């Protein structure tokens, strides 16, 4: 089943979805139901965010609304308008696992979720709610509440090591980030010969799943077969990513179910949890410990900035004194920067919104993209603007929401005591006790992947 669908019973053909689709995967005549071309779709969910056609209890009645809610496997407590473009929900699988005493449930939450989730409970746009989110997940009943930020730090260790190796050993350059599954799917679909430029690192979500069912199971003294992993993501394409056949390096499906930020809000409401009144709680340790570098993965340029903070040390053996890498912080198109790291000038690029990718692909094919490392994010401003984030009913709210979520992310980074991935003590611990070293034999087996080449 496709991750993103358009309900032809509801779609009015306003074509707002086709205008925002970065890969032109939505077709149809004006004022008629639109169709998703699944071969082109990268499941980013921007159409879900933009869709204006809906049914509601008030306008369409209880019976019609209830039928559509059942078709989408949504809890009975959901009463908000249901839009034509939507992502397929797997909440029922999460609820079933939580009720199964034979399952040991582990949950992870992505960086951008904590600056979006509170909006669905009436709090201001971009409210940072990391502590309340951890408390909510614990009250929902998960056995362990971990954090994708931890494996964002782990990703930097693996990806940074890979980049240094490529730069110093004449490897394939430029290297592109691989943490955005929409971008990965796009390049596999359209330019499979260029997948050699992708980092071999899995995304933080998939690294977490593999770690949870190996090292995490060992830490908790449970049978890996009993571990059920849930991811809370701002991204609708993460569900597709978790279902990829190669994502089973733990010996099991690494991530069992992915739900979006919106779906977590549905679940919190179904459980009768008063989100606003929850106390601030911490994530479980050690797989919930993270640095500021991990949390900025949620904004465009954040992966690059986190990589530079650690890459500088990997290249020079020294610590970077000023970790705010302002040249890579932007929300517009494509920008480049030169980063001085000892005797090396590291040439980097950051691309925002997959709609801007074509000129970059053309330069790459022509051999004129003179860069070492490039970050690509499919969504307009990175994960904070993901298709699974709280839906913004008014387009006029979009700029403020994105800016507030982005600023909250950087504020969170600045407030944390540690801001570089390689100084995270939990990262040191996992290498010492389990993985041994970045890009080593075990870490390569669990934390890296291969791509489809046509």
Q: What is the pLDDT of residues 122-166, one digit of tens each?
A: 999 999 999 999 999 999 999 999 999 999 999 999 999 999 999
Q: Find the catalytic residue in 16, 241, 263, 305.
A: 241
CA distance linking residue 451 with residue 142, whole number of Å: 32
179, 180, 235, 237: the catalytic one is 179
| All residues at 6 or more sequence positions from 72 whose CB lies less than 8 Å from its CB, including other chains | 82, 86, 88, 89
Instruction: Examine the residue annotation and report whether 159 is marked as an active-site residue of this protein.
Output: yes
> CA-to-CA distance for 325 and 371, rounded, in angstroms?
17
Question: In 3D, which of 389, 370, 30, 444 has the Cα closest to residue 199?
Answer: 444
Q: Does the structure show a pLDDT above 70 at 334?
A: yes
Least confident stretch, 232-246, 278-292, 293-307, 325-339: 325-339
Which DSSP letter does residue 352 get?
A: E
Is 241 among the residues known to form the active site?
yes
For 144-447, which CATH class? alpha beta
Distance CA 284, CA 105 (A): 13
Told to judge if 238 belongs to the known catalytic residues of this protein, a careful annotator would answer yes
CA atoms within 13 A on the CB side of 251: 11
Domain 1-87 CATH assignment equals 3.90.650.10 = no
Residue 353, CA distances (Å) to 21, 153, 224, 356 in order: 10, 24, 38, 6
* Given 383, 391, 420, 421, the catalytic residue: 383
Q: Model-level pTM?
A: 0.96
Which pLDDT tens digit goes with each residue over 309-320?
999 999 999 999
Structural domain boundaries in the chain: 1-87, 144-447
Task: Output the pLDDT for position 181.
Answer: 98
Q: Is the pLDDT of residue 383 over 80?
A: yes
Catalytic one of 158, 162, 263, 305: 162
Q: Give the pLDDT band (50/70/90) at residue 56.
A: confident
- For residue 162, indicate whether it is catalytic: yes
Token representation of residue 152: 């964002």
**Cross-strand pairs, 44:** none
**What are the backbone angles phi and psi of residue 35, rounded to the nearest 5°?**
-125, 140
Set 16, 158, 159, 381: catalytic member: 159
């Amino acid at each position: 089943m496709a991750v993103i669908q358009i309900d032809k019973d509801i779609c009015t053909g306003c074509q707002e979805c086709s205008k925002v689709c970065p890969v032109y995967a939505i077709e149809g005549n004006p004022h008629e139901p639109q169709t998703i071309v699944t071969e082109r779709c990268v499941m980013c969910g921007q159409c879900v965010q933009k869709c204006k056609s809906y049914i509601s209890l008030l306008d369409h009645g209880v019976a019609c609304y209830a039928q559509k809610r059942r078709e989408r496997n949504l809890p009975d407590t959901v009463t908000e308008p249901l839009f034509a473009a939507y992502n397929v929900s797997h909440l029922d699988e999460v609820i079933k696992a939580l009720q199964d005493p034979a399952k040991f449930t582990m949950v992870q939450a992505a960086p951008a979720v904590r600056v979006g989730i509170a909006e669905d409970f009436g709090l201001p746009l971009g409210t940072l709610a990391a502590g309340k989110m951890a408390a909510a997940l614990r009250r929902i009943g998960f056995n362990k509440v971990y954090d994708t930020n931890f494996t964002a730090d782990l990703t930097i260790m693996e990806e940074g090591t890979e980049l240094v190796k490529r730069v110093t050993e004449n490897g394939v350059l430029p290297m592109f980030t691989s943490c955005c599954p929409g971008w990965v799917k796009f390049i596999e679909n359209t330019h499979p010969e260029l997948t050699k430029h992708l980092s071999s690192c899995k995304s933080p979500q998939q690294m977490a799943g593999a770690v949870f069912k190996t090292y995490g199971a060992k830490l908790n003294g449970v049978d890996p077969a009993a571990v059920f992993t849930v991811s809370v993501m701002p991204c609708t394409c993460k569900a597709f990513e978790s279902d990829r056949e190669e994502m089973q390096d733990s010996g099991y499906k690494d991530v069992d179910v992915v739900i979006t930020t919106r779906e977590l809000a549905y679940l919190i409401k179904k459980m009768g949890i008063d989100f606003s009144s929850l106390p601030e709680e911490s994530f479980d340790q050690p797989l919930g410990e993270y640095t500021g570098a991990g949390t900025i993965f949620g904004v465009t340029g954040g992966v690059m900035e986190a990589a530079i903070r650690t890459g500088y040390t990997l290249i020079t053996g020294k610590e970077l004194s000023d970790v705010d890498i302002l040249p890579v912080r932007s929300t517009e198109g494509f920008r480049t920067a030169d980063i001085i790291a000892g005797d090396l000038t590291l040439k980097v690029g950051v691309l925002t919104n997959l709609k801007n990718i074509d000129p970059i692909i053309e330069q790459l094919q022509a051999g004129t993209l003179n860069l070492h490392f490039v970050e690509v994010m499919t969504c307009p401003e990175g994960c904070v603007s993901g298709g699974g984030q709280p839906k913004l009913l008014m387009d006029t709210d979009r700029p403020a929401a994105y800016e507030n979520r982005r600023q909250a992310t950087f504020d969170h980074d600045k407030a944390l005591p540690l801001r570089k991935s390689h100084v995270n003590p939990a990262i040191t611990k996992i290498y010492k006790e389990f993985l041994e070293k970045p890009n080593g034999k075990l870490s390569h087996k669990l934390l890296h992947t291969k791509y489809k080449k046509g």
